[in-house]
């Protein structure tokens, strides 16, 4: 990867098949990243439509990290439920072989930039497992603050209970 440039950019409908492939791979590589249960039933056409719909909103987005034609990372903001949406939940994941190269930081920085300059959101929120110390430090470095008074248990993709905290960033 030393002489190749990774492009961090908004997902496009043409990314649908590669994004589905990436999400499936990430769901098997990491026990700190969860995907929607219906991922296996999602067709390329469905994913293409979802990307098109998300790009029309000011409360949801998907960014990808692309190395040539290969997608190697993803970051999302998904609006939380409620009558007036002011919060967006952050999700970020990078393929294991590309960990430690700054891609997670670059993806989250793009989400923050999008939230501040293009969205109508007031806050970005996320849940981080305490065992994922690299991610927790990354979020703190980028200005996220813990918003839960103490850790609580979440269930990871393997079914194990793990300690986690919620974090928030005003945008």
Question: What pLDDT digit, counting tens, does each position of 58-116 carry?
Answer: 999 999 999 999 999 999 999 987 667 899 999 999 999 999 999 999 999 999 999 99
Residue 39 predicted with pLDDT over 90:
no
Question: How far apart are alpha carbons 13 and 18 in whole angstroms?
Answer: 10
Say if 18 falls within a structural domain: yes
Instruction: Count how many domains the chain has.
Output: 1
Residue 111 near residue 103, CB atoms below 8 Å: no
Say if 12 falls within a structural domain: yes
CATH code for the domain of 126: 3.40.630.30
pLDDT at 156: 84
pTM score of the predicted model: 0.90
Say if 44 falls within a structural domain: yes
Q: Could you list the residue range(s) of the whole structural domain that residue 59 is in? A: 6-170
Say if 164 falls within a structural domain: yes
pLDDT tens string 114-165: 999 999 999 999 999 999 999 999 999 999 999 988 999 998 878 899 999 9
- In our burial notation (b when 16+ CB lie closer than 10 A, e otherwise), range 65-84 reads bbbeeebbbbbbbbbeeeee
Q: Which two tokens stand for residue 101?
A: 């190269």
């Amino acid at each position: 990867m030393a002489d190749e440039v990774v492009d961090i950019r908004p997902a496009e409908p043409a990314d649908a098949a590669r994004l589905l492939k990436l999400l499936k791979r990430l769901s098997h590589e990491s026990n700190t990243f969860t995907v929607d249960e219906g991922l296996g039933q999602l067709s390329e056409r469905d994913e293409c439509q979802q990307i098109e719909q998300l790009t029309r909103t000011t409360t949801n987005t998907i960014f990808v990290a692309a190395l040539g034609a290969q997608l190697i990372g993803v970051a999302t903001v998904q609006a939380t439920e409620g009558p007036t949406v002011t919060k967006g939940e952050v999700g970020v994941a990078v393929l294991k072989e590309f960990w430690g190269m700054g891609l997670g930081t670059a993806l989250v920085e793009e989400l923050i930039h999008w939230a501040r300059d293009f969205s109508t959101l007031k806050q970005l929120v996320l849940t981080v497992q305490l065992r994922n110390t690299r991610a927790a430090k990354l979020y703190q470095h980028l200005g996220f603050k813990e918003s839960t008074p103490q850790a609580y248990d979440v269930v990871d993709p393997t079914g194990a209970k793990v300690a986690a905290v919620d974090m928030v960033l005003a945008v």
